[in-house]
Amino acid sequence: MSSSKVTLALVQMRCSAEPQENLAKALARVSEAADRGAQIICLQELFTSQYFCQIEDHKYFQLAEEIPGPSTDALCRLAKERGVVIVASLFEKRSAGLYHNTAAIIDADGTYLGKYRKMHIPDDPLYYEKFYFTPGDLGFRAWKTRYARIGVCVCWDQWYPESARLTALAGAQILFFPTAIGWHPGEKEQYGMRQHSSWETIQRSHAIANGCYVAVPNRVGHEAPDGGPGIEFWGQSFVADPSGQIVAKASVSDEEILLVEADLDALDTQRTHWPFFRDRRIDAYGDIQKRFID
């Protein structure tokens, strides 16, 4: 008899400058999460490296790999061995000169189900992603896994209601947002508290508006590639339930595996009592495809 309950795990960790070291740590954390009962495990954004997008340097393209490729091969083997679903955010080399910020989705039998390519690419101080990544071209999707139907978007996508809505409309019961976000040293004192509050609030709103779980793994630690000012990643990975309540949150500075039991029956209850899908005026939304309504 199938259960409506599924245990999620978010892996919040520090990353070094050595990709193989980071991959080995991630594999160990996935195994630990499985030991603790996790069934769907999500790793943070670009977990095999430090967040290199703080600077624009062609040498970092050497970190990219094909998907499927070496990292997904290792994760597929582990998923099959432990019977867990894995969401893994990686730097994808699609072809010469064509790279993406991509999440791979692996089912509990070790099957590689597919990928999501990050759609919204930021270009802000210390977040120079447009230098490295081509915008995604696979759209917003959901995958049926052994334990739940899941959707995946990546970091900057989390600020866009359209991303969450379209992924939920594709059938996602749980929205995962692998993330790498933190404080700019020159902004933390003045803006840090409100920046974090905005980040948390927008994603809680996705859970409310779509009546689904939202799960957000973030990294921790201070990273300063090539001696720059660096970013202090704010951790605080969290899971919000379909009513937008935060049911679990990790610490600001510690490496952690955050485990949460999600009750998928709660989606139907929430959507029945707050019938946003029923009352959507799809006949009136044509202008959403415009950049701006003059």
pLDDT the model gives residue 2: 58
Q: What is the CATH number of the domain that holds 203?
A: 3.60.110.10
**Residue 276 in domain:** yes
User: Would residue 290 count as lying in a domain?
Assistant: no
Asked whether residue 292 is assigned to any structural domain, the reply reads no
**pTM for this model (two decimals):** 0.96
- 264 closest CA partner among 108, 119, 96, 147: 147
Pairing of strands 142-144, 149-152: antiparallel
- Residues marked active site are found at 45, 118, 155
**Residue 285 domain-assigned (yes or no):** no
Please list the ranges in the chain whose pLDDT falls under 50. Answer: 1
Q: Is residue 293 part of a domain?
A: no
Question: Residue 38 belongs to what domain range?
Answer: 5-280
| 287 inside domain | no
pLDDT digits (tens, 9 = 90+) for 169-223: 999 999 999 999 999 888 899 999 999 999 999 999 999 999 999 999 999 999 9
Task: Give per-residue pLDDT as tens, 143-178.
Answer: 999 999 999 999 999 999 999 999 999 999 999 999
In a domain, 93, yes or no: yes
Provide the number of structural domains found in the chain: 1
What confidence score (pLDDT) does residue 1 get?
41
Residue 291 domain-assigned (yes or no): no
